[in-house]
Chain A
Amino acid sequence: MTRDRRRTRVVRPTRLSVRDAADEAVAAVLARPARAALTVLGTLVGVAAFVAVLGLTATTSGQISKRFTALAATEVMVEDAPADPALADPGFPPDTEVRLTRLNGVEAAGVHWEASAGTDGAEAEVSARPPSVRREPGEPLTVVAASPGYLEAIHATVGSGRLYDTFHQKEGQRVAVLGKAAAQRLGITRLDHQPAIFIGDTALTVVGIVEDVRRRPETLLSVLVPSSTAALLWGEPGGAEGRPAKVLIETRLGAAQLIGGQAAVAIRPDRPERLKVTAPPDPRQLRDQVTTDLGGLFLALAGICLVIGAVGIANTTLVAVLERTAEIGLRRSLGARGRHIAAQFLSESAALGFLGGLAGTCAGVGTVVAVAVARDWTPVLEPLTVLPAPLVGALTGLLAGLYPAWRASRIEPVEALRR
Chain B
Amino acid sequence: MTPPVIEFAGVGKRYPGPPQVTALRPADLVIRRGEYAAVVGPSGSGKSTFLNVAGLLDRPSEGVYRLDGIDTAGLDERDRTALRGRRIGFVFQSFHLLPHRSALENVMLSMLYTGVPRGRRRAKAAATLDLVGLAQRAHAPAGRLSGGERQRVAFARALVNRPSLLLCDEPTGNLDTATAGTVLELIAELHADGFTVVVVTHDPGVAAGAQRAVVIRDGTLTEAEPRAPAAGVAQVGEGG
* A contact set with B: CB distance below 8 Å: 9-16, 19-20, 24, 27, 31-32, 326-327, 329-338, 340, 413-414, 417
Contact = CB atoms under 8 A, between A and B. Distances in A.
Contact of B52 (A24, A27, A340, A414): A414
A164 B9 CA distance: 118
A201 B124 CA distance: 113
Contacts of B52: 414
A332 B128 CA distance: 21
Contact of A10 (B79, B81, B115): B79
Interface residues of B, number: 33
Contacts of A333: 55, 57, 84-85, 88, 90
Contact of A12 (B82, B92, B98): B82
A323 to B, nearest CB: 12
B120 interface: no
Interface of B: 52, 55, 57-58, 70, 75, 77-79, 81-88, 90, 92, 94, 96, 98, 100-101, 105, 109-110, 112-115, 118, 157
29 contacts: A9-B82, A10-B70, A10-B75, A11-B82, A11-B86, A13-B78, A14-B85, A14-B86, A20-B118, A27-B100, A27-B101, A27-B105, A326-B94, A326-B96, A327-B96, A332-B81, A333-B85, A334-B110, A335-B85, A335-B86, A335-B113, A336-B81, A336-B112, A336-B113, A337-B81, A337-B113, A414-B57, A414-B58, A417-B96
A16 B75 CA distance: 21
B100 A14 contact: no
Nearest to B100: A31
B104 to A, nearest CB: 13
A335 B118 contact: no
A11 B58 contact: no
Contact of B118 (A11, A12, A19, A327): A19
Given A31-B100, A333-B57, A414-B57, A15 B70 contact: no
Contacts of A331: 109, 113
Given A31-B100, A335-B82, A414-B52, A12 B115 contact: yes
Contacts of B109: 331, 334
Nearest to A27: B101
B112 A20 contact: yes
A27 B104 CA distance: 14
Given A335-B114, A336-B113, A13 B58 contact: no
B102 to A, nearest CB: 11
Contacts of A340: 113
Contacts of A11: 70, 79, 82-83, 86-87
Given A10-B70, A333-B55, A414-B52, A16 B77 contact: no
A220 B105 CA distance: 85
A340 B79 CA distance: 14
Given A19-B118, A335-B81, A12 B86 contact: yes
Contact of B113 (A10, A14, A326, A417): A14
B58 A14 contact: no
A179 to B, nearest CB: 81
